[in-house]
Chain A
């Protein structure tokens, strides 16, 4: 099996190298044969996908057939590993995940090369750029991180097993989502670089890549949030974001990608920010690479990082080379990217996008700076310092709050110029609503002047409410206009409104989801926790809940042995659920793992929903009784609901616009109103 895999990888490298070189020759030669050469390059690119797919299939089949002669399978699987995790072995370790990276890239390239007729010249350029990235990954796979390396000496009977932290259902879906996001940004990057090299006229490359970018952004968003949920549900510390370098690495391209999605509208609508958009998409791709470098080089310690290896230097060279190529072409063809319009007023949609980009990039820079500062400190001072949550919270939260304010105001601003009168008119009711939320928080006992975290929580609540109210008011205003003209219900009018300009209203829905996520986060300062050794019938009181230990027991299966407690949860004297916090001991890897249990109180609290979060920490060796840590995490479920709404909003934005309905005029006075015509 390993030989088939190795051959497939070598073949893929040959094909992608041919696709790159032949494609490059075809682009720059003017003779008649260049078209045929370009076509062979395209086909070689398609064939690369087949070869990489074969290598990935071989690796997965090796995992399922327990082929421990392959070192990668030996280190990441074992006979009793459940099938889903055997499949996930493909992305569980360094070499496999690089193969998965390469497979996704080849898949994206495959789709791109099939759709080449949209614009043959531009697609040919993009295809060459993708082939170049593909060659890089296949070089690493063949010469630095080979997934089909074989074990020397006697054949082992069983593998060492998968890291227990990774044996959780989300492990099957979180990395693919994240990788689809990371890798996906290669496509808009390839189009942007291609368009820059060929001095592509107009903004068509942006129209072509718009959906790619949005889909990629959506995958990355889901990946980042699933990572947060995985940390919450598996690591057992009661939190979902620890500003770990690898978490930061996934957030940075997300931030620049988000900035790109906003600023690209200025190029589409007004022919502005052309250089900036190029720079943003280049930065997004490079930051994806930096993230991959961070997890694999071992330069920064992280709970997520793969084993330390030599491939970090490969990535450094590739990042430097890409940066040089991008900078060279950006400098060379800068005159091609001149803005077509000027800014007419400071209070306008254009300037709101500028400030939105500024804040997103400041956040990105802060995170990049904080992540790499320990290395810089070691270089300058001779010792590392820790840059942990206190730094990021203090620096990033104020910027994030400003961004939230802009998210609320931005959609109310018109392109070119906004009159203060209309801004006041549109902003008044949402502002009153938001301020009343702040007032209610103070009324219910939150004292923002007592603690900075309460201050931030109050600000975040007010600003989230502001975002939500402005989104609702936008839907209501547009819906009312359509309902008035077409005599349909307000709800169906709002649906029609949304369908007329899916991108705009889909974007609003995404903003609404973001506000919900912020609401979920702002509960953090109000978290509570209690730790207690619990015998039969022992109680813990936390918030409005009483936890009673009904029993504790243990079990065993071929993969792991486990202990768990049976905890009845009461509220107001009534039992509402039973929870089973658990601790496992995996046999193959000889490692323990806690599995917290979470109960979100949707049935009891509609809006102020709280997670009851129980961790089985182990047994007291003297008494033999379990130690239970109970957390009460208010509002956290809104984070996951917010994510669902963000994804829904992105899907809405991807739907093609309906043609605006022409309203039959009863009196021959006015032209029909086209509502929702601008983004």
Chain B
């Protein structure tokens, strides 16, 4: 009996392995895609142009600003192209724009200093939520079942599963 139980547990652990590996692969792939960068100049222009806001106050991404009579977007696009032609790297280009137009020109918080908090908090919130849900589920599962009146028995385990199987078969649900 004990040997069987141990064997069963071992088989279960082995069965879990491919699932865990698949999960790891999924996380890795997602991370790679998330942080994948752009290569050539036109892709860099598109990428950087989407990482900055138009400074005219229309609250739109630089490359998406079509504000009628906008006096900023064309100038900023030309400035971006010129910086790319010079061979400047992405950080230098963005720094140049910050100097010219202020920190609000960058469309998302940078991953430096206090701005890091902006990126961390949503994921920290998710992690906290998952922990909370797991805790709640565990405490619910461990909650003692209320005592029943004499003579009443509730079917559990394999007996209950058998009833469920029959019910599903009959209703095909």
Residues of A whose CB lies within 8 Å of any CB of B are 236-239, 242, 244, 272, 301-303, 339, 342-344, 346, 351, 354-355, 358, 361-362, 365-366, 369-370, 373, 377, 380-381, 383-391, 394-395, 398-399, 414, 417, 419, 422, 448-449, 451-452, 455, 477-478, 480-481, 583, 592-594, 615, 617-618, 629, 670, 673-675
Contacts and interface: CB of A to CB of B under 8 A. Distances in A.
**Ranked 4 nearest A-B pairs via Cβ:** A343-B140, A388-B107, A391-B108, A390-B108
Given A386-B109, A422-B168, 14 more contacts: A238-B64, A242-B59, A358-B129, A366-B122, A370-B122, A377-B115, A381-B114, A383-B102, A385-B109, A388-B53, A390-B107, A478-B173, A481-B173, A583-B68
B84 interface: no
B18 interface: no
B69 interface: yes
Contacts of B58: 303
A342 B125 CA distance: 26
B170 interface: yes
A262 to B, nearest CB: 14
B6 interface: no
Interface in B106-132: 106-110, 113-115, 118-119, 121-123, 125-126, 129-130, 132
B69 A592 contact: yes
Interface residues of B, number: 54
Contacts of B66: 236-238, 594, 615, 617, 629
B119 A398 contact: no
Nearest to A449: B33
A238 B61 CA distance: 12
Contact of B33 (A370, A390, A455, A481): A455
Contacts of A346: 137
Contacts, number: 147
Contacts of B130: 358
A281 to B, nearest CB: 19
Nearest to B144: A342
Interface string B55-87: 001111100111011000000000000000000
Nearest to B104: A386
A480 B171 CA distance: 10
B94 interface: no
A351 B122 contact: no
A259 to B, nearest CB: 12
A242 B60 contact: yes
B44 interface: no
A370 B165 CA distance: 48
Contacts of A452: 33-34, 36
A422 B167 CA distance: 12
B125 A365 contact: yes
A394 B129 CA distance: 19
Nearest to A676: B173
With most chain B CB atoms within 10 A of its CB, the pick from A339, A388, A395, A478 is: A388
A303 B59 contact: yes
Contact of A377 (B33, B109, B171): B109
B137 A354 contact: yes
Contacts of A355: 133
Contacts of B28: none
Nearest to A340: B146
B24 to A, nearest CB: 17
B172 to A, nearest CB: 5
A525 to B, nearest CB: 11
Given A346-B137, A373-B109, A455-B33, A385 B68 contact: no
B33 to A, nearest CB: 4
B4 to A, nearest CB: 21
Contact of A237 (B64, B122, B173): B64
Contact of A451 (B36, B53, B64, B140): B36
Given A391-B118, A449-B33, A386 B107 contact: yes
B138 to A, nearest CB: 9
Contacts of B102: 383
Contacts of A675: 171, 173
A342 B133 CA distance: 14
A417 B155 CA distance: 14
Given A343-B137, A455-B33, A592-B69, A373 B118 contact: yes
A618 B109 contact: no
Contacts of B141: 342-344
14 contacts: A237-B64, A301-B57, A303-B58, A362-B125, A370-B118, A385-B109, A386-B107, A387-B109, A388-B61, A449-B33, A452-B36, A593-B68, A618-B68, A675-B173
B34 A385 contact: no
Contacts of B36: 451-452
Contacts of B109: 373, 377, 385-387, 391
Nearest to B143: A342
B64 A244 contact: no
Contact of A399 (B59, B107, B126, B140): B126
Given A343-B140, A389-B61, A481-B171, A618 B107 contact: no
With most chain B CB atoms within 10 A of its CB, the pick from A303, A342, A370 is: A342
B133 A354 contact: yes
Contact of A673 (B105, B107, B121, B171): B171
A417 B115 CA distance: 44
A226 B171 CA distance: 41
B73 to A, nearest CB: 11
B107 to A, nearest CB: 4
A479 to B, nearest CB: 10
B59 A301 contact: yes
Nearest to B161: A419
B78 to A, nearest CB: 15
